[in-house]
């Protein structure tokens, strides 16, 4: 007497488990790439936001703030108002292995007395976004993001 029980064989179950494992691995890799790109997009948005606040400060005072005035967590403000409530800190983890220590946006005021004032903001991206090259220390100036 033969009993035919409907069900899956061990081989069929192993194949299905292997396919599910492969698909989940691929989705996790794609998610990690998307997260890295989101961090880079945030870095570019942060730098543009800082640049906008610096230009508003310049329009108000005809000069850029001192180096100590533009640090993460501190406001960019003058006697006439606040232009950026809090300077943003870069997202973590840091991306880009060729940038040295890219854990903070580095602001430097340029132009000595009598010269045209300016600034540089150094930052690093993990990958190339539009025209901004990744994995290289980048500089933003009053002329724009380079």
Residue 115: the pLDDT is 80
Q: What's the whole-model pTM score?
A: 0.78
Answer with the residue of higher pLDDT: 99 or 32: 32
Topology (CATH level 3) of domain 10-145? Glycoprotein, Type 4 Pilin (3.30.700)
Q: Is 57 a residue whose pLDDT tops 80?
A: yes
109 with 65: CB under 8 angstroms? yes
> Tens digits of per-residue pLDDT, 19-29?
999 999 999 98
Residue 101: the pLDDT is 62
Residue 102: the pLDDT is 54
| Rounded Cα–Cα distance for residues 63 and 112 (Å) | 11
Task: Give the three-class secondary structure for 99.
Answer: coil
Q: C-alpha dihedral over 63, 67, 70, 71, to 10 degrees? A: 180
Residue 58: the pLDDT is 93
Residue 27: the pLDDT is 92
103 with 95: CB under 8 angstroms? no
Domain boundaries, the chain: 10-145
Section 120-125 average pLDDT: 89
> Tens digits of per-residue pLDDT, 64-83?
998 777 888 889 998 889 99
Tokens 């300016």 found at: 118
């Amino acid at each position: 007497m033969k009993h035919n029980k409907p069900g899956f064989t061990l081989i069929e179950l192993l194949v299905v488990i292997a396919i599910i494992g492969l698909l989940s691995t691929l989705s996790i890799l794609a998610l990690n790439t998307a997260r890295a790109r989101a961090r880079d997009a945030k870095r570019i948005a942060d730098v543009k936001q800082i640049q906008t606040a610096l230009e508003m400060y310049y329009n108000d005072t005809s000069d850029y703030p001192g180096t100590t005035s533009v640090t993460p967590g501190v406001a960019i403000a003058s006697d006439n108002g606040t232009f950026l409530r809090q300077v943003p800190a870069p997202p973590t983890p840091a991306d880009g292995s060729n940038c040295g220590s890219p854990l903070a946006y580095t602001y430097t005021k340029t132009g000595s007395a009598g010269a045209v004032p300016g600034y540089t903001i150094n930052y690093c991206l993990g990958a190339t976004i539009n025209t901004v090259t990744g994995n290289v220390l980048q500089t933003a100036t009053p002329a724009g993001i380079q």
